[in-house]
Amino acid sequence: MAIMNIVKDGDEVLRKKSRPVTEITPRIIRLLDDMIETLHDSGGVGLAAPQVGVLRRIAVIEVEPGELIELINPVIVSKKGKQEELEGCLSVPGKWGITKRPYQVTVKALDRNGEEFSVTGEDLLARALCHETDHLDGTLFYDNAIHMLTKEELAELQEED
């Protein structure tokens, strides 16, 4: 396994639509493993393949330690409720915004064995599922932001922590 470089805002790969995975090969498994290691190293909640320069419909999410979700070809199949919460991105360091997202989301995807499964998440997990799925379509969190925090607002929040 290897820690991969995280692509930063401004790189055109982040704005491109990812291709579906048609076959789960050893290369796809290695990509998943490397993405997991990269996610753990970054301290983030989720990571999509375009964020490591790979235009494939793959994402990994770990909202709670030890509860890793691997998503291959994820599709959002239902959305319920609303939430407006703080969101950031490993590819957009230092910037935070308030986004409008569904409170509950269900996603269908394949696991690393090619088995279809679904996952339903609320609150932070719902945001992460939307955020990572957006990456696969070339959308960044600030495209959904209703307010981007100023430097002063960000400093204020950091003082509260």
Detail the DSSP E strand segments found in 5-129: 46-48, 58-61, 69-80, 83-87, 97-101, 104-110, 116-122
Report CA-CA distances (Å) from 107 to 33, 42, 121: 21, 24, 9
Q: Which residue in 132, 153, 159, 160 is the catalytic one?
A: 132
User: Is domain 12-160 classified as CATH 3.90.45.10?
Assistant: yes
At 88-98, the pLDDT tens digits run 999 999 999 99
Residue 100 structure tokens: 């409008």
Give the confidence band of 151 by pLDDT, cuts at 50, 70, 90.
confident
pLDDT digits (tens, 9 = 90+) for 76-133: 999 999 999 999 999 999 999 999 999 999 999 999 999 999 999 999 999 999 999 9
pTM, full prediction: 0.95
Confidence (pLDDT) at 65: 92
Residue in 1, 33, 2, 10 with CA at minimum distance from that of residue 93: 10
Q: Which sequence spans correspond to the domains of the chain?
A: 12-160
- 23 given a catalytic annotation: no
Q: Is the pLDDT of residue 161 over 70?
A: no
Among residues of the chain, what percentage have pLDDT more than 70? Answer: 99
Share of the chain above pLDDT 90, in %: 92
